[in-house]
Amino acid sequence: MALFVQKYGGTSVADIKRINNVAERVLKTYKEGHDVVVVLSAMAGETDRLLSLAKDAATWRSAKRERDVLVSTGEQTTVALLAMVLASMGYKACSLLGFQAGIKTDSSHGNARIVSIETDRIKELLEQRNIVVIAGFQGINPEGDITTLGRGGSDTSAVAIASALKADVCEIYTDVNGIYTADPNICRKARKLDSVSYDEMLNMSSLGARILQIRSVTFAKKYNVPLNVRSSFSEEEGTMVVSEINNPGMERLLVSAITHSKDEVRVTIEGVPDEPGMAGKIFTELSEKSISVDMIIQNTRAGEATDLTFTVDMENFEQAFEIGRKTVKEINAKNIFYDKNIAKVSVIGIGMKENAGVASKVFNALAKENINILMISTSEIRISCVIEEKYVELAVRVLHTTFGLDAE
């Protein structure tokens, strides 16, 4: 007998019919004799509806605490409905909201961190053979106020609960079958991966983030919670996200996936005076506004003004450009401009650590197709290239083939 934590996303609980489908899934595991803790998101679209209500009512800053009271109703609704459906099928089920499940967080409303989980009530319910249905995304702070964990926080809830309960596995049910070697929409030969490491998953920003909140993967890595990403709409086995250390038998391909993102903008500041601290100024301000900069290039010619280029998410672009424009004046730089017609292609794999040849393989493969590399950044297990947007699909397919990922 094992303990399963199963997390179902918004599309899986979008209406009563789908909630019935979730109930069937849950019962399949439960009837095999296992303990099941279910963690739910709000119905697809519901959180957005509530946020737009909140927007009509007040400015964001004035009422963060109340915004959490409002949006937490989304998960409250789905957990009650699933527990009802299970009960009407004749099974023992009990919903728990954040405060009832003992999910203690800090007081950072809208983006709270889980501090601890007091599992007494969950364990007691499990001992009585209840299916425990917990509202994701929410917790309670030391003052007894409702907090929420930020976008996609239900994944983090599930992982934290799995960790606290020492669950055998944390299954993340979503609307895709697992993690693929590339986006199947642009690369027909993409394959589903049986497993990836936490680190690879963390580096698959574009492929992964749509499926699994990055923060939950960090959490899973830290507490070594085995994740299984799978679809609630099919019976197919998903992808295991696990520690490479504890899984020596894991397939060790040089490269495990090719990811891409069209969601970035390149910003260039021309003629930054070559004085210490000039470049730091803009990045300090960006980080104060929580705008993360992905890549940075600085072309310094001794004694002369330099050019500074960096990329930011489309979402943060306007704010970042405004900050950039202000800084240009302050530091007496020459000019600032941007380019939205770029894309980022990344090659990801833990095998890279021990193989220096990956970078040159990437450059050669792209060069052969006359794809110009505009920017490069690398980590231990990732090489990312910024290229012209029009080449992105071609680049993904070329690299997918180059690194032997194509399905037969």
Q: How far is the CB of 134 from a copy of itself (least distance, A)?
A: 12
Nearer to a copy of itself, 139 or 178 (CB): 139
Looking at residue 192, the DSSP 8-state letter turns out to be B
Q: How far is the CB of 331 from a copy of itself (least distance, A)?
A: 37
Nearer to a copy of itself, 87 or 254 (CB): 87
Contact 240, 228 (CB under 8 A): yes
Among 62, 116, 247, 332, binds a copy of itself (CB under 8 A): 62
Residues facing 95 on adjacent strands:
133
**Phi, psi dihedrals of residue 157, rounded to the nearest 5°:** -55, -50
Q: How far is the CB of 43 from a copy of itself (least distance, A)?
A: 10
Nearer to a copy of itself, 88 or 116 (CB): 88
- 19 scored as a contact of a copy of itself (CB under 8 A): yes
Region of 48-56, 173-181, 232-240, 317-325 interacting with a copy of itself (CB under 8 A): 48-56
- 72 scored as a contact of a copy of itself (CB under 8 A): yes
- 77 scored as a contact of a copy of itself (CB under 8 A): yes
Region of 5-13, 33-41, 57-65, 295-303 interacting with a copy of itself (CB under 8 A): 57-65
> Rounded to an integer, what distance in angstroms lies between the CA atom of residue 230 and that of residue 237?
7
Looking at residue 151, the DSSP 8-state letter turns out to be T
- 123 scored as a contact of a copy of itself (CB under 8 A): no
Name residue 309's amino acid.
T
Among 97, 265, 386, 396, binds a copy of itself (CB under 8 A): 97
Residue 117: in which H helix or E strand, if any? Answer: strand 114-117
- 57 scored as a contact of a copy of itself (CB under 8 A): yes
Among 53, 245, 367, 407, binds a copy of itself (CB under 8 A): 53
Measure Cα distances from 129 to 2, 117, 123 in Å.
13, 20, 10
Rg (CA), the chain: 23
For the record, the structure tokens of 227 come out as: 């994740």
- 30 scored as a contact of a copy of itself (CB under 8 A): no
Distance, C-alpha 106 to centroid of its chain: 21
- 27 scored as a contact of a copy of itself (CB under 8 A): no
Q: How far is the CB of 99 from a copy of itself (least distance, A)?
A: 7
- 122 scored as a contact of a copy of itself (CB under 8 A): no
- 84 scored as a contact of a copy of itself (CB under 8 A): yes
Among 11, 29, 76, 119, binds a copy of itself (CB under 8 A): 76
Name residue 34's amino acid.
H
> Rounded to an integer, what distance in angstroms lies between the CA atom of residue 296 and that of residue 376?
9
Residue 246 makes CB contacts below 8 A (sequence gap 6+) with: 224
Nearer to a copy of itself, 138 or 197 (CB): 138
**Phi, psi dihedrals of residue 44, rounded to the nearest 5°:** -50, 130
Q: Where are the alpha helices (DSSP H) in 165-288?
A: 198-203, 205-209, 214-223, 278-288
> Rounded to an integer, what distance in angstroms lies between the CA atom of residue 149 and that of residue 219?
13
For the record, the structure tokens of 190 come out as: 């993409």
Residue 134: in which H helix or E strand, if any? Answer: strand 131-135
Region of 53-61, 182-190, 245-253, 357-365 interacting with a copy of itself (CB under 8 A): 53-61
> Rounded to an integer, what distance in angstroms lies between the CA atom of residue 205 and that of residue 260?
9
- 44 scored as a contact of a copy of itself (CB under 8 A): no
Residues facing 70 on adjacent strands:
none
Q: How far is the CB of 16 from a copy of itself (least distance, A)?
A: 5
> Rounded to an integer, what distance in angstroms lies between the CA atom of residue 392 and that of residue 206?
13
Q: How far is the CB of 144 from a copy of itself (least distance, A)?
A: 6
- 101 scored as a contact of a copy of itself (CB under 8 A): no
- 83 scored as a contact of a copy of itself (CB under 8 A): yes
- 189 scored as a contact of a copy of itself (CB under 8 A): no
> Rounded to an integer, what distance in angstroms lies between the CA atom of residue 118 and that of residue 116?
7
Q: Residues interacting with a copy of itself, by CB under 8 A? A: 16, 19, 50, 53-54, 56-59, 62-63, 65-67, 69-70, 72-73, 76-77, 79-81, 83-85, 87-88, 90, 93-95, 97, 99-100, 121, 144-146
